[in-house]
Chain A
Amino acid sequence: MSKPITVWDLPKEEFLASGHRMCQGCAAAITFRHVLKAAGKDTIVSMPTSCGEITSTVYPHSAWRIPWIHVAFENAAAVASGISAAIEALKRRGEIPKEKDINVIAMGGDGGTFDIGFQALSGTLERGDNVLYICYDNEAYMNTGIQRSGATPLGAWTTTTPVGKVWRGEWRPKKRKDLIAIAVAHNVPYAATATPAFPTDLYAKVKKALSIKGPKLMHVLSSCVPGWRIEPEKGIEVLKLAVLTGMWVNYEYENGTYRVTTPVPKRKPVKEYLRLQGRFRHLTDEDIKKIQELVDAEVEKINKLVGKQVIGPVEG
């Protein structure tokens, strides 16, 4: 096994310039910084409409120091496929040296991945194009003002799943759809989850994904200050808690095997994660019990995939 990556292995060079208009304490900005640090300068990013897109490229400014293309909500993955095919064609014609590695990354939010861009993503994964698709997931349409998406978790308040006498936030009784399982069902060589609260893990996974040829998918949990109703300084703390409570599991799938990269021997109760966020403030102890059961089932599923107990029981 190679040496684990430490925080000192992260390159100093910044490819996401300061001066972007993302909110104070936006975790998506941290995600972009580390993804670009891992990808390096020979990278082309295609990005659908999303928070990160509208805030990083307010005309006449752009925060991206690498080639970057804005595309419609539906087709980030399709455009990335096209870029990847164009690079192949230019290499064939001898206009780009054959040995030059150019990374193609499509980066969308959860709305652009789970809902609107889903069929383009499926197409890219199914055709086997050499693209890394990264979904930075803040669990609702934050850009347009916090509407629910296919990734919104049970109980979460959004403007379209309000809290009143009848509605109690997001109502979908099951766990949201499993993006990694969907990617695996497309026979991709690599799929992984990550969060910017564990930046070395995120960095290592992007590096690994880009070293593999073919379609790759990464699902990155990224907190949102206005949408999750948290204080700006809590963005990373809440993501760490997501991992420590088992609400989110950092794992990767590579050629048939699953590996959890952040093992949690003793989980914290999910209440600690939920109580930090205003979007869950209406939940009663009974609601939290229901969410805890969902998380327990999910953790068990992942332990089964890995083949041993990497995420332990709830402590206390």
Chain B
Amino acid sequence: MSLPGWKQLPIGVVILNPGNSVEYKTGEWRTLRPEIDQEKCIRCRTCWTFCPEGAILEVSEPYKTKAGREFKLTYKVNYEHCKGCGICSNECPAKAIAMVEEVI
């Protein structure tokens, strides 16, 4: 990585692209990965609310469980940024999120 000289930096070294921290993949920190069991998930939004990274994604993807329950939403994990803290799994009222060891 070549670093810019001081003349190339913006005045005040301000960051011109707010929110560019997404370029940094904090998912590399993870030792345990959360896996959402879509069958057990009751779509209560708890994991999305409590995720410190904002790494639980709420997508409008319909899902029908084997028991015939229909949902308009699906929760997914952004594994690029999930640090694997496990708050989602700990708080999940349906115990639908398992923390699984990362194996490379």
**Interface set of A (CB-CB < 8 Å, partner B):** 7-8, 10, 12, 14, 16-22, 24-27, 29-30, 33, 56-68, 196, 199, 225, 231-237
Contacts and interface: CB of A to CB of B under 8 A. Distances in A.
22 contacts: A10-B49, A18-B21, A18-B53, A18-B54, A18-B80, A19-B22, A21-B26, A25-B87, A29-B52, A30-B50, A30-B51, A59-B15, A61-B23, A62-B17, A67-B18, A196-B50, A232-B86, A234-B90, A235-B52, A236-B50, A236-B87, A236-B91
Nearest to A234: B90
B23 A19 contact: yes
B19 interface: yes
Nearest to B54: A14
Contacts of B49: 7, 10, 199
Interface string B10-24: 000101011111111
B3 to A, nearest CB: 10
A11 B45 CA distance: 12
> Which of B17, B22, B23, B52 counts the most chain A CB atoms within 10 A?
B52
B96 interface: no
B29 A64 contact: no
Interface of B: 13, 15, 17-26, 29, 44-46, 49-55, 58, 78, 80-81, 83-87, 89-91, 99
B71 to A, nearest CB: 14
Given A22-B52, A61-B21, A66-B18, A8 B45 contact: yes
A16 to B, nearest CB: 6
Nearest to A62: B15
A17 B21 contact: yes
Contacts of A7: 44-46, 49
Contacts of B54: 14, 16-18, 33
B61 to A, nearest CB: 14
A62 B23 CA distance: 10
B15 A61 contact: yes
Contacts of B26: 18-21
Contacts of A22: 52
A217 B12 CA distance: 30
**Majority secondary structure, A binding face:** loop
A63 B90 contact: no
B21 A24 contact: no
Contacts, number: 110
B15 A27 contact: no
A25 B52 contact: yes
B46 to A, nearest CB: 7
Contacts of A17: 18-22, 54
Given A232-B86, A237-B91, A61 B20 contact: yes
A101 B81 CA distance: 33
B43 to A, nearest CB: 10
Given A18-B81, A29-B53, A62 B87 contact: no
Contacts of B51: 30
Contacts of B91: 236-237
A29 B50 CA distance: 9
A62 B21 contact: yes
A12 B45 CA distance: 11
A232 B87 contact: yes
Given A19-B81, A24-B29, A233-B86, A61 B24 contact: yes
> Which of A10, A12, A30, A199 counts the most chain B CB atoms within 10 A?
A30
A233 B89 contact: yes
A46 to B, nearest CB: 14
A8 B49 CA distance: 10
A311 B27 CA distance: 41
Contacts of A58: 21, 24
Given A232-B85, A232-B86, A233-B86, A63 B21 contact: yes
